[in-house]
Amino acid sequence: MDLKDKLVSSFMAFEETVDMDSSVHDIRSEAIKIFEEKGFPSKKDEAWKYTSLNAILKHDYSIFPKKEDAIEFKDVKKYFIHDLDSYKIVFIDGQYSSHLSETTHDKIDVCLMSSALTNEKYKAVIDNYFNKVAPKDGLSSLNTAFSREGAYIHIRKNTLADKPIQVIHFSTGNESSQMLQPRNLIVVDENSHVQIIERHQSLTDNPVLTNTVTEIFADKRAIVDYYKIQNDNLNASLIDNTFIQQLTQSLVSVHTFVFGGKLIRNNLNFYQLGEGINSVLNGVTIIEGKQHVDHNTLVHHTQPNCESHQDYKGIFDEKAVGVFNGKIIVNKEAQKTNAFQSNNNILLDDKASINSKPQLEIFADDVKCSHGCTIGQLDENALFYMRTRGIGDKEARALLMYAFANNVLDTVKIPQLKQRINKLIANKLNVNLGFDL
Amino acid sequence: MRMAYTEDDLKKELETKEYEYGFYTDIESETFPVGLNEDIVRAISLKKEEPQWMTDWRLEAFRVWKEMKEPEWANVRYEKPDFQAISYYSAPNKKPKYESLDEVDPELLDTFKKLGISLDEQKKLAGVAVDIVMDSVSVATTFKETLAEKGIIFCSISEAIQKHPELVKKYIGSVVPQKDNFYAALNSAVFSDGSFCYIPKGVRCPMELSTYFRINQAGTGQFERTLVVADKGSYVSYLEGCTAPSRDENQLHAAVVELIALDDAEIKYSTVQNWYPGNAEGKGGVYNFVTKRGLCETRAKISWTQVETGSAVTWKYPSCILKGDNSVGEFYSIAVTNNYQQADTGTKMVHLGKNTKSTIISKGISAGKSQNSYRGLVQINSRASNARNFSQCDSLLMGNECGAHTFPYIEAKNKTAQIEHEATTSKIGEDQIFYCNQRGIDTEKAIALIVNGFSKEVLNKLPMEFAVEAQKLLEISLEGSVG
């Protein structure tokens, strides 16, 4: 039985374990029908031209999480940014882990999707926002059908979240292979501000497939900083679907740092529904071996005087494959739009490859839109310069790569996080430069 | 005081501007019954007195075509042509072989006069030989003797099939195979005529070669086949220009152009395309589905330059296969769309050899309710070390009912590849116009100046003789904006 059939037939069993009476029931039932009809995307779909899911769909994933597995904090401490005072929402094999988490209901709600979906107190928010921006494609619908657990974050009007929020999903590998479908909802009301760090981590080498959906709603003048750290082990694959709806003068930045994982697909979609909105999409990808990373972005400008800035950097070694597919749509009402997109890549090996497809679809005349894409190598002259000054070959190369990625790293606003990312990069490049960049 | 000339005025003018070259020459034509089947393909081949291998080649293409579907991935919307409602062959009845202009049908001469490309004028212009294709069959060829002295073969493709079968047999379909795509297969099966050009080893063609294509007979699709072979170390500059008369029903144009540049050869292929774009309501107009591709051997160079102003629907991607080491491909394009025109055009640069270089400069201008798309592929294969590509696609929008789109595909499989791609979309800035106004340049002239400057990089690539006509065609498409 292939994975699609297995998922569809498991749906009934799943339904019995969750609340059948909730309003979400109808949404789930509709979603499974859509998934049944559309299934997983194939290479025949234009948006999936360069990424095939076949290799990761062939495992016989267990779909339902078993009972919570006890993990001691000391075993997983290294995956937290522990020197950062933060709220934490931690999941182990899809189940909430209360002893690793630190949640709050004080002015802001940082808690669980499962309680939000069932508790009457959150009904208004769920009715207003749940599944409102996620499109009805196969993968998102699959997630919607099995949506039960994830992070629920609601920042009320005129509130500054007092500390960043870390959302971490662990998989223990108790099952020989596992499929996880976290569902996150983030609602940031008027004039509010929040910083969120998301991470997926498997603790063994057993294959894991994560198909996650995150919906983010930024109301007027809200500011959202979202950081995705994708540094999982080489048997873990991730399909990240993030949908962001922005209202007037809001600012949402999503930073994606990819160093690990077998196959990673980021579907990052911004829908601008007001004026004076700014959307920022940044990414650094450093991969090697047989890793495959696909960034698929969409920014849809529908109103005048908005901006979007995209900056994706990639370094690809050995047989790694990089894909960038960035689409900007400017509706004819969206005059005075400034939309910029840049995708720079470095290939370090002849077996590595990069496929880049920056698209513009523009229907308004008074706009400034541009995209740029480059593919190149490290500059031999610069390397030579550093070598003549006594810097080792490996370090010199690492320095150049740091410099290449630096303008994206600079946009990280949490110092401890920035330091952590620097460390991850240093580990990835296997160098110790002896100073922080 | 005269009211200031604004962009809105320009837009209005553009919309109301009628196609100037819409006229129809009444020359008796011999036309086949409509429809397409193996018999028609055989009949075309028979009509042209072709050898058996050519008939077989056509039939093979037809059989492949029957199995194929029309491509739907392009960013264009149109009513699909009914391929069984088209007549696949028409030729002027009188088929004279002229030595001088006096012998040419005066009606024809008149047509060219209206087009502003009279043979008289052409002859006076420095060394342009014109092989005029009027409804599929060559009716006049000049300067043939000069070319013959150098050993250059420049004739219609039907003549080449008769006289130089070894060359045609060797190269036809070698760059664009019969089964390449739907329209290429159709063309391979039914092509009526076209041009053939062979430049021998080491010869530099002393003049610009040009052909004017015209669609003339109502209801006839035109299927041109062009084959240019530049032997080792030779050089040729080839010009192709088109204008078509006004028609209410859609006309289909599915041409195939194959260029072969052998070692150290250089081919420069320039096109000015001004098929009838349909009227202001988007009715009528030519469907232009063209397959153009060139193959570069070692150190060879192919340069495509195109000015696309006409056609209701354009689907065209002049491409270069950079097979040999150190070969060079270039693509310079201006695509202007107005009213309801739709253009999906661009190029493919396939880097196979080492040290190959390609340059892409594409300028799109959209006005009215038109849609203008750039679609391109830059592919660096794993053996193509030190490949270099530079791409730039700029779009200029006039009015908020048109659209500009870019779909660039960039695929690199070699670490030594260097690829740059840039695209911008903008409109004519108010500050730019203000700057010109300040210096005593009125708004109309200022817009002309800016559009001209925007397209200049490409216009400069056209041969002198052609640049004049290109300007003329830009004027028609964007009247009042090009000074």
Q: What is chain A's alpha carbon radius of gyration, rounded to the nearest angstrom?
A: 21
Name every chain A residue with its beta carbon within 8 A of the beta carbon of B409.
355-357
Contacts of A372 in chain B (CB under 8 A): 420-423
pLDDT of residue B464: 72
Residue B37 has pLDDT above 80, yes or no: yes
Say whether residue A45 is in contact with chain B using an 8 A CB cutoff: no
- pLDDT on residue B56: 92
How sure is the predictor about B132, in pLDDT bands with cuts at 50, 70 and 90? Answer: low
Scan for tokens 């109103």, then name that residue: A303
Burial group, residue B241, by CB count within 10 angstroms (0-12, 13-18, 19+) = buried
Q: What percent of chain A has pLDDT over 70?
A: 97
Closest to A29 in 3D by CA, of A40, A43, A18: A18
CB contact under 8 A, A363 and B410: no
Mean pLDDT of A315-340: 93
Q: Do B410 and A355 touch (CB under 8 A)?
A: yes
3-state helix, strand and coil shares in percent for chain A, rounded to the nearest 5: 25, 40, 35
CA angle A204, A208, A213 (to 5 degrees): 130
Beta strands (DSSP E) in B135-184 are: 137-141, 153-156
Measured distance CA(B145)–CA(B99) in Å, rounded: 11
Spell B445-464 as b/e; 16+ CB within 10 A means b: bbbbbbbbebbeebbebbbe
CA B68 to chain A, closest CA, distance in angstroms equals 17
User: What CA–CA distance (Å, rounded) separates A254 from A299?
Assistant: 12
* Min Cα–Cα distance to chain B from A427, Å: 23
Nearest Cα residue to A84 out of A161, A155, A165: A165
Residues of A in contact with B424 (CB under 8 A): 368-370
Q: Which residues of B touch A363 (CB under 8 A)?
A: 400, 402-403
Residue B275 near residue B244 (C-beta atoms within 8 A): yes
Question: Is the CB of residue B411 less than 8 Å from the CB of residue B378?
Answer: yes
Mean pLDDT for the stretch of residues A205-212:
92
Q: Which residue of A lies nearest to B398 if distances are taken between CA atoms?
A: A365
Closest by alpha carbon to B213, among B256, B273, B146? Answer: B273
Nearest to A377 among B413, B416, B422 (CB): B416
Instruction: Quote the radius of gyration of chain B (alpha carbons, Å).
Output: 22
- Residue of A349, A355, A374 lying closest to B420 (CB–CB): A374
Distance of alpha carbon B222 from alpha carbon B210, whole angstroms: 18
Give how far Cα B16 sits from Cα of A399, B274, B478, Å: 60, 18, 11
**Which residues does A300 contact at the CB level (< 8 Å), separation at least 6?**
A269, A270, A271, A272, A329, A331
- pLDDT of res. A16: 81
Mean pLDDT of chain A: 90
Give the number of other CB atoms < 10 A from CB of residue B246.
Answer: 16
Each residue of A216-267: pLDDT tens digit?
A: 999 999 999 999 999 999 999 999 999 999 999 999 999 999 999 999 999 9
B201: its two tokens: 């080893």
pLDDT at B344 over 80: yes
pLDDT score at B195: 85
- CB-CB under 8 Å, A371 with B406: yes
A417 backbone dihedrals φ, ψ, rounded to 5° = -70, -40
The predicted model gives A274-302 an average pLDDT of 95
Q: For chain B, what percent of residues have pLDDT higher than 70?
A: 74
Which residues are CB-contacts of B162 (< 8 A; sequence separation ≥ 6)?
Answer: B49, B50
Instruction: Please report the pLDDT score of residue B87 as a whole number.
Output: 75
Tokens representing residue A137 in the block: 């494609």
A299 touches B at CB < 8 Å: no
Question: What pLDDT, on a 0 to 100 scale, did the predictor assign at position A137?
Answer: 92
Subunit contact B423:A371, Cβ cutoff 8 A: yes
- Cα three-residue angle B148-B150-B154, rounded to 5 degrees: 45
What's residue B105's pLDDT?
54
A364 has a pLDDT exceeding 60: yes
Nearest to A131 by CA among A183, A82, A166: A183
CA distance A104 to chain B (A): 46
Task: Count other C-beta atoms under 10 Å from residue B425's C-beta.
Answer: 29
pLDDT band of residue B17 (cuts 50, 70, 90) is low
Distance in angstroms (rounded) separating the CA atoms of residues B23 and B116: 13
Residue of A325, A362, A397 best to disrupt the B interface, most CBs of B under 10 A: A362
CA B132 to CA A203: how far, in whole Å?
74
Q: Cβ atoms within 10 A of the Cβ of B170, count? A: 12
Structural contact between residues A401 and A315, judged by C-beta atoms closer than 8 angstroms: yes
Q: Nearest-CA residue of chain A relative to B75?
A: A361
Q: Give the pair of three-digit tokens for residue B178.
A: 């019969």
CB proximity B386 to A under 8 Å: no
Do A363 and B399 make contact, defined as CB atoms within 8 angstroms?
no
State the pLDDT at residue A293. Answer: 96
- pLDDT band of A68, cuts 50, 70, 90: low
Q: Which of B36, B196, B213 is nearest to B132 (CA)?
A: B213
From residue B207, how far is each of A418, B210, B235, B239, B471 by CA, in Å? 64, 9, 10, 11, 21
Chain B nearest-CA residue for A364 = B400
The mean pLDDT value for B112-117 works out to 53
Judge whether B281 is closer than 8 Å to chain A, CB to CB.
Answer: no
- For the segment B200-248, what is each residue's pLDDT rounded down to a tens digit? 999 998 877 775 544 444 444 578 889 999 999 999 998 887 555 555 4
Instruction: Look up tokens 């002259």; give the residue.
Output: A381
Taken in order B55, B61, B64, B68, the sign of the CA dihedral is: negative
- Tell me what the pLDDT averaged over chain B comes to: 79
> Which ipTM was obtained for this model?
0.81
Q: How far apart are CA A402 and CA A418, in angstroms?
A: 13
Task: Please give the Cα distance from A263 to A209 (Å, whole number).
Answer: 9
Q: Which residues share a beta bridge with A310?
A: A281, A341
Could you tell me if B29 and B71 are in contact, meaning their C-beta atoms sit under 8 angstroms apart? no
- A–B CB contacts, 8 A cutoff, strictly below: 120
Domain boundaries, chain B: 7-477
Report H helices in A262-409. Answer: 380-388, 393-409
Which residues, in sequence order, are CB contacts of B56 under 8 Å at separation 6+?
none
Q: How far apart are CA A272 and CA A241, in angstroms?
A: 17
pLDDT confidence tier of residue B277, bands split at 50, 70 and 90: confident
Q: Do A359 and B408 touch (CB under 8 A)?
A: yes
> pLDDT band for position B124 (50/70/90)?
very low
Asked if the Cβ–Cβ distance from A358 to B412 is below 8 Å, we say no
Residues in B closer than 8 angstroms to A315, CB to CB, are: none
Taking the CB of residue A192, how many other CB atoms lie within 10 A of it? 25
Q: DSSP characters for A250-293?
A: -EEEEEEEE---SEEEEEEEEEE-SSS-EEEEEEEEEE-TT-EE
B412 touching A (Cβ < 8 Å): yes
Alpha carbon A223 to chain centroid, angstroms: 18
Q: Which DSSP helix (H) or strand (E) runs through B188?
A: helix B182-190
Q: Which residues of B111-148 are buried (b: 16+ CB within 10 A; e: fewer)?
A: bbeebebbbeebeebeebbbbbbbbbbbbbbbbeeebe
The amino acid sitting at B460 is N
**Distance separating alpha carbons of residues B363 and B394, to the nearest angstrom:** 5
Q: Does the beta-carbon distance from A364 to B397 stay under 8 Å?
A: yes
Residues of B in contact with A361 (CB under 8 A): 403, 405
Lowest-confidence region among A18-32, A89-103, A219-233: A18-32
